[in-house]
Amino acid sequence: MTLQKLLGIDLPIIQAPMAGVQNSALTIAVCSAGGLGSLPCAMLSLDAMRQELAMIKAQTSKPYNVNFFCHAQPEADAMREAIWREALTPYFAEFGIDTDAIPAGPQRLPFSAEAVEVLEAFEPAVVSFHFGLPEPELLARVRSFGAKILSSATTVDEALWLEAHGIDAVIAQGIEAGGHRGHFLSDDLNAQVGTFALLPQIVKAVKVPVIAAGGVADAKGVAAAMALGAAGVQVGTAYLLCEEATTSAVHREALKSEAARVTALTNLFTGRPARGIVNRLMRKLGPMSTAAPAFPLAATAIAPLRANAESLGSGEFSPLWAGQNASGCREISASVLTRELAGGI
Amino acid sequence: MTLQKLLGIDLPIIQAPMAGVQNSALTIAVCSAGGLGSLPCAMLSLDAMRQELAMIKAQTSKPYNVNFFCHAQPEADAMREAIWREALTPYFAEFGIDTDAIPAGPQRLPFSAEAVEVLEAFEPAVVSFHFGLPEPELLARVRSFGAKILSSATTVDEALWLEAHGIDAVIAQGIEAGGHRGHFLSDDLNAQVGTFALLPQIVKAVKVPVIAAGGVADAKGVAAAMALGAAGVQVGTAYLLCEEATTSAVHREALKSEAARVTALTNLFTGRPARGIVNRLMRKLGPMSTAAPAFPLAATAIAPLRANAESLGSGEFSPLWAGQNASGCREISASVLTRELAGGI
């Protein structure tokens, strides 16, 4: 079965869910063009999620994807948090931040029974997960309203695991991809490989359709992914400058600059490795640091640094998520971009 | 101009030069099939080089490529060597190796006036370099006998630099590639990106033909590289099990095993980052270690460990060079493999 038929879409182009830089406006624009728009819920409250889903429902009758992280929420670890804040001390001092007054940071909550309840009121056609899959009971509830289920694999082993757990299609996330790595069976970053190596090996290993992610930036990239056996592509970075994205000014500026040529995997902003444009914090503390608390707790102490720096027009303390190929970023409508990408099919 | 016309070959398939695992037999087999066979000279004495070139000349009239490293040979640093041997002490003890008796290790000599002199007697159609280009005087001598000149770029900046220095075609070496990274303008490994990201950006940046390297393992990979704008491909790993390769028994065994799924960039074996299958030494000391002497001096102290381990049938101390996609490795003739790869054009 083609990916289009499986998901009920016209074009096998999936807009990657990108928490923090988009809301339903991007989702709707992509759906309207015939692709699969995605709504990332990792950083949304239940109310905000409900609101965004209502917006989508009001503006398109096309299938759309709702995305969740499904990590285990860690216990807060006072010792580790103290070490982390110690490492950040020079920067707190630079901005005159009172570390006793740091509020709870941006939440990244795992998929939950409460979230399923919200979904059940909307019955989205597709639900995708990052960091594996939620527990079987929650997954069964998602499946029961008919949603197709996607998740990311960063290794052949993860693809086989997802297939064995009944996934409808696998997203092969190559090392080029921006944002959080989706690995969940092993945290050995050496096992994380480029799209050119990962995609064909996953295509050979599983029977379900495989969606290519990582480095795909234009119609030629889509054609190349298809040549390697992909049933479709998931594109993130190229959508970051789109009119419908909520990408911040400092993030947009970085994407348009030469700085976008050098990204790195960093755990400084959340506690898990994610790819972003290298900035001052990444140069000084990492990009990978053993001092960073477990995902998603590292974000709390970073939040005031980011806010202060951004208020001065600086992205040096912000997660400037981007993949290794920002050459597809243009300030156009996401609908236009979606149709252009589909030119590679 | 097509790559075929530029280099005088039938198929735009270049067999990657792989020092230590091949001699002229592989070169000849690839040339005979219509691809561009390569002879790596980094580890050959001038006499051996002359001998191998004579073999090629005797057995094929097709164009072939002769490859050289063009690093600056570092001064020996007794302090650094001592730190390195200290780090290796437990393994010397394990094998009962007398560290006072370690002979000079495998040489990796840079391109030189003496090497040019050997080349001038054979006038190969193509000469390729790794780690940039040799000094202008040497390059001019290569050019004067009509050789086309290739070199690897691992970033857009390196591709632009090579083009500005008169290169005939650029090899875009994605992070998936096995063996030594070819970077020469910056040693920031974060700037090293996947083929899916690197290739289209280099294609956009330069006017000369671009050859894709890294992750290309079969005809579909060749088709994908062409879709991204490559004029041809350079394939290494897939040739490692070929009958004409001199790949060692432990290396062949590793390539055929599940171990081949996890490779890493390591500087332990030579002093420069190169991709190989993860083994015990890489797990214990790195894979990247600040203790390793400058390229190529790290190899000396490793050599007896490798020899001892290999004599016991173990590859745990050997450089098991491989790219991230070993799925194309088969025990077939390199001629057959070359023609199969060309099925993707």
B284-323 pLDDT tens trace: 999 999 999 999 999 999 999 999 999 999 999 999 999 9
Q: How many CB atoms lie within 10 A of CB B148?
A: 21
CA distance B257 to A196: 20
Strand order in A210-213's β-sheet?
Answer: A13-15, A232-235, A210-213, A169-173, A148-153, A126-130, A65-69, A38-40
CA distance B61 to B63: 7
Question: In this complex, do A200 and B220 lie within 8 Å of one another by their Cβ atoms?
Answer: yes
Average pLDDT over every residue of B103-110: 78
Question: In this complex, do B194 and A216 lie within 8 Å of one another by their Cβ atoms?
Answer: no
Contact A95/B at CB under 8 A: no
Contacts of range B79-85, beta carbons closer than 8 Å, 24 or more positions apart:
B80/B291, B80/B293, B80/B294, B81/B293, B81/B297, B81/B300, B81/B301, B83/B291, B84/B291, B84/B292, B84/B293, B84/B298, B84/B301, B85/B301
Portion 169-188 of A in contact with B at CB < 8 A: 174-176, 188
pLDDT tens for each residue of B120-166: 999 999 999 999 999 999 999 999 999 999 999 999 999 999 999 99
Contact A278/B at CB under 8 A: yes
pLDDT of residue A224: 98
- Facing A194 at nearest CB: one of B176, B190, B218: B176
Going from the C-alpha of B306 to that of each of A38, B4, B91, B122, B241, the distances in angstroms are: 51, 40, 10, 35, 20
pLDDT of residue B99: 87
State the pTM of this model.
0.96
- Which single residue is written with the structure tokens 């088709």? B223
With bands split at pLDDT 50, 70 and 90, how would you rate the model's confidence at B105? low
Average pLDDT over every residue of B95-106: 83
ipTM: 0.95
Portion 283-342 of B in contact with A at CB < 8 A: 287, 323-325, 327
CA distance B133 to A261: 23
- B176 CB neighbours in chain A (<8 A) are 193-194, 196-197
Contact A218/B at CB under 8 A: yes
- B194 CB neighbours in chain A (<8 A) are 174-176, 194-196, 214-215, 324
Quick one: CA dihedral A342, A345, B2, B7, positive or negative?
positive
Average pLDDT over every residue of B225-230: 98
pLDDT of residue B106: 60
- Facing B196 at nearest CB: one of A204, A214, A287: A214
B301, two tokens: 């102290």
CA distance A50 to A178: 27
State which amino acid sits at residue B166. G
What's the residue count for chain A? 345
Local confidence pLDDT in tens for the 345 residues of chain A: 899 999 999 999 999 999 999 999 999 999 999 999 999 999 999 999 999 999 999 999 999 999 999 999 999 899 999 999 999 999 999 999 998 888 876 678 899 999 999 999 999 999 999 999 999 999 999 999 999 999 999 999 999 999 999 999 999 999 999 999 999 999 999 999 999 999 999 999 999 999 999 999 999 999 999 999 999 999 999 999 999 999 999 999 999 999 999 999 999 999 999 999 999 999 999 999 999 999 999 999 999 999 999 999 999 999 999 999 999 999 999 999 999 999 988
pLDDT of residue B71: 94
- Facing B194 at nearest CB: one of A156, A188, A324: A324
How many Cβ pairs closer than 8 A exist between chain A and B?
129
- B324 CB neighbours in chain A (<8 A) are 193-194, 196-198
Query: Which residue of chain A comes nearest to B221, CA vs CA?
Result: A228
Question: In this complex, do B195 and A191 lie within 8 Å of one another by their Cβ atoms?
Answer: no
Per-residue DSSP letters for A158-177?
Answer: HHHHHHHTT-SEEEEE-TT-
Query: Before A287, cis peptide (omega within 30)?
Result: yes
Is the pLDDT at B102 greater than 90? The verdict is: no
Across chain B, where does the E strand assignment appear? 13-15, 38-40, 65-69, 126-130, 148-153, 169-173, 179-180, 210-213, 232-235, 263-266, 274-277
Provide φ and ψ at A197, rounded to 5°.
-95, -40
Q: How far is B170 from chain A (nearest CA, A)?
A: 19
Contact B155/A at CB under 8 A: yes
CA distance B169 to B65: 13
Parallel, antiparallel, or unpaired: how do β-strands B263-266 and B274-277 relate?
A: antiparallel
Question: Of B76 and A115, which is predicted with more confidence?
Answer: A115
Contact B193/A at CB under 8 A: yes
pLDDT tens for each residue of B173-189: 999 999 999 999 999 99
Packing angle of the helix pair B195-205, A195-205 (nearest 10 deg): 130
- Which single residue is written with the structure tokens 């992750």? B215
Domain with CATH 3.20.20.70 in chain A: 1-71+108-240+326-345
What 3-state class would DSSP assign to A304?
Answer: helix
Ranges of H-type helices in B175-268: 195-205, 219-227, 249-256
Question: Of B109 and A208, which is predicted with more confidence?
Answer: A208
CA distance A7 to A15: 13
B133, two tokens: 């280009």
Query: Which residue of chain B comes nearest to A263, CA vs CA?
Result: B190
Going from the C-alpha of B8 to that of each of A112, B11, B116, B234, the distances in angstroms are: 62, 9, 22, 16
Domain B1-71+108-240+326-345, CATH number (from 3.30.70.890, 3.30.70.120, 3.20.20.70, 3.10.20.600): 3.20.20.70
CA distance A118 to B270: 57
